[in-house]
Structures are given as structure tokens and as C-alpha cells.
Amino acid sequence: MTNNTPHIIKNDPWYGSYASRAEDMRASEIRALFAVASRPEVVSLAGGMPYLDFLPFDELSELVAKMLREEGSHAWQYGSAQGNAHLRERILDIVRLEHITDAQADDVVITNGSQNGLDLITRLMCDPGDVIIAEDPNYVGALGVFKSFQAEVINAHMDADGLIPESFEESIKYAIAQGKRVKFLYTVPTFHNPAGVTMSIERRTRILEIARKYHVLVVEDNPYGLLSFDNKTYPALRSMDPDNVVYLSSFSKIIAPGMRVAWMIAPPGIRQKLVLANESSILSPSNMSQMTISTYLDNFDWKKQIEEYRGMYKSRCETMDQALRTYMPYCSWNKPQGGFYIWLKIPEGLDAKAMLPRAITARVAYVSGTAFYDTGEGADHMRLSFCYPTEERIVEGIRRLSTVVDEELAT
């Protein structure tokens, strides 16, 4: 580590004192972009923020006020490290939609967002140098966690049907041949962030077989699974192999990221350790947040709300797809069946990372594909989010982006 490394504050009096695992910590490309991208004149196709204006805030605020009057001394008190029992019961109704029918409330652990869950499972499983197999490209927030525990990420490739089983197996063999311990596969099987693709059912079966063969745990990160555009929900990997999968999902994309409430479902041994890790990390997840979420689930038709979101995100996705056809037909992209993201391949020779400042000047923001790799790859892609801007803004954003790309192509 050198004192002129850009992510280190100049003349930091603690320079030299940090633990080795803190050396490589830095703001993700997305965080660095956040301030600029949230300026109102910029059409942000960058963030993965859900659109919340459909939520019944007026009625909800009255119900939350009532909850506080009646149960305030519970809501504002410390709680259980595993999370609120009532909420864990309610979560079982949600995961049933993804075919998880055997889980009990006791199998569920509440976390402060899935990000916290990723931190917990990595802390439990990985010593420095241990290997995590992850899809290529990979959710940027997970990369940050893996790095902070000094785990080594080995990529496995995807195509339009998600993670390729042969590539997964090759990555395991490669790690073993180097004398490394493979601790888990990290996968976002459904409506992938950033790639937008979904693992087919046949591949789910095959991936689980391979994981079992090599005694590799599967960490299934599934915040988008309910946000399908054709009302189809995929069976969670957890539903197909309960003993070998740790499942994470979250209220962030279906209700409210600001509440920071998510959950994990894990086999008993791992679940017990997760609770202990939660306790040592945060004592207990916020009762106030959990009870606010329960108030919502108990009083509103959350399934109908999710259906409404599906329709809205589908329509925004179609608008983006159409705008890309109109303005940037020389690019290629997947058309997702759910989730928030289009993974756009830009013409050869262009560099999405280098182009970003010019895009910001043209008042449009995206995330360069390089954010989703640890290796500097990905400059030939950008992630475009259609979740937050209105359809009108999406069209305008793509139009602005096309002017930047066109100019690049002309030079």
C-alpha cells in the first residue's frame, strides 16, 4: 500500500496501522457515481433503487403510529439476534412462492439487508486465501465483501441460461489443483445483477449436483426472484437442495430498502452460527424496522403489490428495450424476464469506463461493466437499470447515451 494510492486519504495519521484486510477497501464504482447520478438533471440508469411511489404511505403511517402506541416499548427495545418470530413466520409465506415449502420459522435469520447476510456467511466460511466461485460478471457488493475477508474469487462463466455447469466444475477443479479450498459458490440465479439472465431449471439441477459432488456450499442470493415479468416464479435452489444451500432474500426490492430488513434460510449448523455472528456483529436486527415491515405485511395485500411492481418494471424494461432498438441498434443486449437490469454490450473498441465522464456531461449515468469484475475486465459492457426512472426519462436517457456513443464511434 502506498500513501499516494488514490483511495487513501492524504496524510492519514493511521496510515500503516490498518489491518491487511482493510488495505483494498475502496468505494465501489457505483458509490462513487451516486452523488453525481442523483442530480435531478441527470437521468440515472445507474442505481438499483426500487420505485416506491406505489406504496400506501398515508395508511401505513397511521398503522405504524398505532403500532408504536401499542407496542412501542417492544419496537424500540433490543430484540432477538435471530430476528422477530412473527416476521420469520410471515417470511415463510413469501418463500413458498419460490417453492420453499419445508422451511420452518426457526430456519430463518433476519439480517440488516442481504448485504449484511453476505458479510455474515463470508465471515463464517472464509479464511484468507479460501476460494469463492462466483459468476462472471458478479454483483459488485458481493465482490466488496469477499475482498474484505481476503477470499479469492474464481469466476465461472454465464450465458443466456445463467451459470454454465461445465464452467462451474472447471473452476472448482482449477482451485483444487492449486491446493485451494473452495468454500462456496456465490450465485444470483434469478434475474441476475448485472447480467439480467436467469438460470434454467435443468441447470439448477446440474449445478446442485456438481456442488454436492465436491462438497461445495451454494450461497443463493435472490433479491429479485419475485419480480418476474410473466408471473412465473422459479424454484429457488434452496427448494431443490435444502441441506446444501444458504438462501438470501430481502425486502429491499419488493418493499423498502430503507428498512434494511432481509433474511437468510440456512441448514441448522450454519443457521446457528449465523445467529452467533449476527449477535457479535449487531446484537440484534432493528425491532422497529422489522415491526414496520410486519405491519405492512399484516395489513396490506403484499402479493397484489408485487404484481403491480411486476407490471411496472416489465413496462419500463420494454420501454428501455425499444429505446435501445431505436437509438442504439448497433449494440447488443439481453432482454430480461424480470429484475432491474439490462447488460449492454457496446461496439468494439469503445470503453464504458472511459466514456462515463462524457455521459455525465451529457446528463445520463450508467455503471461501467468494469465495476462487476475484480480484474479490470468489463469495459465493453454497461449496466443499465430501468427500475427507477419513469418511461419518459428512460427514453430520454437512452437518447442522450446514444449521442455519447455516436460521438465516440465518430472519433
Binding site for ligand PMP (CB under 6 A): 48, 113-115, 139, 141, 188, 193, 221, 223, 250, 252, 257, 262
Residue 194 CB, nearest approach to ligand PMP (Å): 9
User: Please, which residue, 250 or 402, has the CB nearer to ligand PMP?
Assistant: 250
Per DSSP, what are the bridge partners of residue 246? 219
Residue 48 CB, nearest approach to ligand PMP (Å): 4
| CB-based contact 216:182 (threshold 8 Å) | yes
168 backbone dihedrals φ, ψ, rounded to 5°: -60, -50
Contacts 24+ apart (CB under 8 A), 52-56: 52/256, 54/305, 54/308, 54/309, 54/312, 55/255, 55/256, 55/305, 56/300
User: Please, which residue, 140 or 405, has the CB nearer to ligand PMP?
Assistant: 140
User: Please, which residue, 90 or 400, has the CB nearer to ligand PMP?
Assistant: 90
User: Please, which residue, 139 or 229, has the CB nearer to ligand PMP?
Assistant: 139
User: Please, which residue, 47 or 79, has the CB nearer to ligand PMP?
Assistant: 47
Residue nearest to ligand PMP (CB): 113
HEC per residue, 83-120: CCHHHHHHHHHHHHCCCCCCCCHHHEEEECHHHHHHHH
User: Please, which residue, 139 or 333, has the CB nearer to ligand PMP?
Assistant: 139
Residue 262 CB, nearest approach to ligand PMP (Å): 4
Which residue, among 384, 391, 393, has the nearest Cα to 43 in the 3D structure? 393
Residue 293 CB, nearest approach to ligand PMP (Å): 12
DSSP class of residue 78 equals -
DSSP class of residue 221 equals E
Residue 222 CB, nearest approach to ligand PMP (Å): 8
Per DSSP, what are the bridge partners of residue 250? 262
Which amino acid appears at position 267 of this protein?
A: P
Residue 296 CB, nearest approach to ligand PMP (Å): 16
Residue 404 CB, nearest approach to ligand PMP (Å): 25
User: Please, which residue, 114 or 239, has the CB nearer to ligand PMP?
Assistant: 114
Residue 50 CB, nearest approach to ligand PMP (Å): 9
**Rounded Cα gap, residues 99 and 91, in angstroms:** 13
Which residue, among 161, 153, 194, 167, has the nearest Cα to 352 in the 3D structure? 194
400 backbone dihedrals φ, ψ, rounded to 5°: -60, -45
Which residue, among 237, 201, 197, 236, has the nearest Cα to 339 in the 3D structure? 197
User: Please, which residue, 111 or 402, has the CB nearer to ligand PMP?
Assistant: 111
> Which three cell numbers mark 193?
445483477
> Which three cell numbers mark 350?
469503445
